[in-house]
Chain A
């Protein structure tokens, strides 16, 4: 079983839609959960990170963690064409906020259609 599983999509939505991106993980010891955005032919950039369970909001983006079901989600409200990218969930282990041994999901490719 992989440490992090992510639906690879692709996902195509109209502009203004609410997008839901999801990952599941296997190790209950994981504490930090990250979302990266990767534009085509670019390196990943950190979008958000959360610690333990709960929600974290940043503008149009909301990250949600449900540790009881080992499920993490990223919601994008009022999606824009500029949000078109691949979104990767990532979990550091040992559970620290840094990039030491990040377990990445496979990424979900999102296209927002104008």
Chain B
């Protein structure tokens, strides 16, 4: 079974630029999550989707972050404009449904300079 796919693996941008990350969850998984993991910290949930609807985005900085999951499959996370403190690994995870084990992708490492 293929795992959660994320791209790109690495991205370096200048502050105030925009960036987008892509996630393809495990086939058939209805629930999709985006987490932010700053160096030396544990992951923090940014947004959770159930199919193509948002379940929880309470910790998403909506002034600069946006996410969508069109057709309930792939998802994109966008940052515009980026700040230095956005430097982190952005992890996508998916689960069959809510309340089942979530499987994480390898993440996208973002460096904002």
Residues of chain A at the chain B interface (Cβ within 8 Å): 4, 6, 8, 41-46, 88, 90, 96-107
Contacts and interface: CB of A to CB of B under 8 A. Distances in A.
Given A43-B105, A44-B104, A102 B43 contact: yes
Interface size class of B (residues with CB under 8 A): 20 to 34
Interface string B4-32: 10000000000000000000000000010
Contacts of A102: 43, 45
A90 B99 CA distance: 14
Given A98-B95, A98-B102, A43 B42 contact: no
Closest 8 CB pairs of A and B: A104-B42, A43-B104, A99-B102, A98-B99, A98-B98, A96-B99, A104-B43, A44-B104
Interface string B77-113: 0000000000000010101001111111111010000
Given A97-B99, A100-B56, A100-B98, A106 B33 contact: no
